Structure 1
């Protein structure tokens, strides 16, 4: 797995220092339909045409929402804009939503927001750890001497997006909330086929920590600074 970091649609955070405790505000760079290149717009158009036909087949009562007076061009544009803003632009993503909608066996059309939710994969759909398990893994590796052997790359990537410092220094409620948002975006990246961070080489990292006194001294100095303790170096 590549360790290259993909910056498009990445999670962006800004820290507001005056707040107590510090508050991180998350936002997502959501694309719009007009910003897509022409070939991508064509792909979206074909996907929406396919979606509308499938919705009519799955939901016999569709005429209650789309009457003879409904401008289907407006309907398709609204659906396209909503799906694109959530990164849902491929037939495979739409098929996931249609499969789950088929299981509901409802004769009525879903709302756009309901269908968007169906198209967004859960960890279980992708064979990944649940949010709770991923958080536990992320918290366990948010330390300098962490062992990564039991951590999934998706858990580690989401932890890095939040910030390893936040994972270990903030309250559990705060770190869990921020991790859940980052993990959701990580799932979307995986579903779109984008690269996420690879796990660090835990064996090499552990060996360096054990073999380098400078690293140990720095760790002790940082710990004493947090506790307000002043002492001389004890390692040489």
Structure 2
């Protein structure tokens, strides 16, 4: 599958983004190196490989392009045989693990069970926090799963796509309030405090 045209006269890769075409070409290059003879037996010439690339692009078009190369690199270390489209798609569906992302079901349970304050909870991944925040914490805790889960799932998958594309998500740190209000020390008091601290630390 060339970036500008298909191998058959009169046909083009119309409908496929340049990013997807590049990703599928990259996937096939990885598979060719990883599976050698198996790959060349399945795709003995350019026409066969281009037809296959078009078919794969059609079935993989709804996955983030950044994910495809990650899966290709991962799959050659796990699968003995050249993967079919179905096998490759299955790996794509479970590839969130490679980015430290829990499954949508695990993320949903985590978001529902996380105690307040949410910002201070140790999240498995920031995407879970932001999915809960976007879905609305009260909505998560007060409505039945069959109503809440589809909304959470959509939000979480959108955030996962952003992570896969390289975006870094950070849970904002909630500043703790001081236990008591204190008046500022004078310059002399500061010097005395510093002296005592140095003596204590033997500096």
TM-score bucket (shorter structure): 0.5 to 0.7
The runs of 5 or more residues in structure 1 that have no matched partner are 1-31, 208-236
Q: CA deviation at 1:154?
A: 1.3
Residue 213 of structure 1 is matched in structure 2 by none
| Structure 2 gap ranges (5+) | 1-12, 179-203
Aligned with 1:82 (options 59, 84, 87): 59
Could you tell me how far apart the structure 2 residues matched to 1:72 and 1:124 are?
A: 30
Match of 1:190 among 163, 166, 171: 163
Alpha carbons of 1:163 and 1:44: their partners in 2 closer, same or farther (altered >3 Å)? Answer: same
Equivalents in 1 of 2:107, 2:86: separation in Å?
26
Which one of the candidate residues 117, 131, 138 is aligned to 2:111?
138
Helix, strand or coil at the partner of 2:166: coil
Q: Among residues 4, 19, 34, which one is paired with 2:15 in the alignment? A: 34
| 1:206-217 alignment, distance < 5 Å | none
* Partner SS for 2:30: helix
Could you tell me the TM-score, scaled by structure 2's length?
A: 0.57
More strand by share: 1
Query: Could you report, residue by residue, the CA deviation over 1:23-82 in whole angstroms, capped at 9, with x for unpaired residues?
Result: xxxxxxxxx97374xxxx1x5434333322322333343456446696433322222233
Could you say what the CA RMSD is over the residues aligned between the two structures, in angstroms?
3.9
Structure 2 CA distance for aligned equivalents of residues 73 and 128 of structure 1: 33
Q: 2:91: which partner in 1?
A: 118
Give the TM-score normalised by structure 1: 0.51
Count of residue pairs brought into register by the alignment: 163
Residue 76 of structure 2 corresponds to 102
Pairwise CA distance, 1:201: 5.8
Q: Which of the pair has the greater relative contact order for Cα pairs under 8 Å at 6+ separation?
A: 1
| SS of aligned partner of 1:82 | helix
- 2:97 and 2:45 map into 1 onto residues whose CA distance is 40
Counterpart secondary structure, 1:104: coil
Alignment of 1:58 onto 2:34: yes
Compared CA separation, residues 44 and 132, structure 1 to 2 (3 A): closer
- Larger helix share, 1 or 2: 2
Given that 1:97 and 1:116 are in contact with CA atoms closer than 8 Å, whether structure 2 keeps it comes out as no
The answer as to whether partners of 2:26 and 2:69 remain within 8 angstroms in 1 is: no
Against the structure 1 CA distance between its residues 33 and 161, is the aligned structure 2 distance closer, same or farther, given a 3 Å change threshold? Answer: farther
Contact 2:114 2:121 in 1 (8 A): no
CA contact (8 A) 1:33 1:85 kept: no
* TM-superposed deviation, 1:155: 1.4
Corresponding residue SS for 1:110 = coil
Q: 1:72 — aligned with what?
A: 49
